[in-house]
Amino acid sequence: MEELSSIGVVGAGTMGRGIAQVLAQKRYRVVLCDAVPSQLERALSTIKKNLNRDVEKDRINAAERDQALANIRVQASLEELKGSALVIEAVSEVFGVKQHVFAELDRLCEQTTILATNTSSISVTQLAGTTKRPDRLIGMHFMNPVPVMKLVEIIRGLQTSEETFLATRSFVEKLDKVPVVVNDSPGFVSNRVLMPMINEAIFCVYENVATPEAVDAVMKLGMNHPMGPLTLADLIGLDVCLNIMETLYADFSDPKYRPCPLLRKMVAAGHLGRKSGQGFYRYSP
Ligand SMILES: NC(=O)c1ccc[n+]([C@@H]2O[C@H](COP(=O)([O-])OP(=O)(O)OC[C@H]3O[C@@H](n4cnc5c(N)ncnc54)[C@H](O)[C@@H]3O)[C@@H](O)[C@H]2O)c1
């Protein structure tokens, strides 16, 4: 993917907006799509806020900020993605929702377009199997917050071609990210290791072993984690955490991945973490 080629990002939530910002700063032209127009507005305002902060801190200059913003177009419909060299899907972590998006993309995009999914846990092979181009579908799993985190987990589905893999890996390197290649398995490596730890931290609160503050303090001060697991869960989104645990639980058929009832309850109450203003902690708007 050369600089200035057009790249689609579908889903303008926590991850989609971060991915769009990084691509735009690397001089790609980005079309950012979301089914919910207010999400597109929020995405643009978050990206502007992040870039303004980078200018204030002298990480970029004003011209670079303006160029990055000019590289992003927002769209409610996927039709505009027709000519994209690559489309990165970052919609909600629900198989049916992603399947629907990939069916649309498969129909609209050129046969040469690579389709990537930012899924945290859903089988890349299964998603690929819902399209007519399973060889050109791959997992490109960015970490949150995307502009800051170096890792991109690349997940090869069973039918992902070597050509698709090589193009994806070199694209990730051009973003100044570090690709780590893994095979397709529920949660891959990142969330297979991380999510059970977060779920266990939630069990500690549920079983009244400790307060959220105490659990986070133990992991920060005792294990040298940069942030506690409950602060991290709020940053990721509790709905995303629950969806990932559900996938691990269902796909491994192993009770060790049972989502904590408190996690279910919080999601049912709309306490989704930072994005809703309330999770294990409170956040001002
Ligand atoms: N949050 C994290 O820390 C994190 C980290 C890595 C990967 N991921 C993965 O990235 C993906 C997105 O997660 P997120 O946290 O950004 O979620 P989010 O809930 O913040 O955003 C999802 C967005 O998708 C949009 N959407 C839903 N259905 C759509 C459709 N049919 N067409 C277009 N847009 C649609 C929603 O309106 C919303 O804006 C998920 O697969 C998640 O597992 C999340």
Cα gap 195→275, rounded to integer Å:
19
Q: Is residue 32 within 8 Å of residue 72, measured between CB atoms?
A: yes
Best residue for ligand 1 mutational test, from 47, 77, 91, 189 (most atoms within 8 Å of Cβ): 91
Catalytic positions are: 120, 141, 153, 191
Cα gap 8→87, rounded to integer Å:
4
Ligand 1 contacts CB of residue 117 (under 6 A): no
Q: In this structure, what token pair is assigned to residue 213?
A: 């503050």
For residue range 177-215, list pLDDT tens digits in order.
Answer: 999 999 999 999 999 999 999 999 999 999 999 999 999
How does the average pLDDT of the chain come out, rounded? Answer: 96
| Alpha carbon of 95 to ligand 1 centroid (Å) | 12
Name the residue with the closest Cα to ligand 1, atom 28.
91
Residue 248: pLDDT band with limits 50, 70, 90? very high
End-to-end Cα separation, the chain, in angstroms = 37
Residue 1: pLDDT band with limits 50, 70, 90? confident
Domains of the chain by start residue, with CATH: 7-182 (3.40.50.720), 191-276 (1.10.1040.10)
Global pTM?
Answer: 0.93
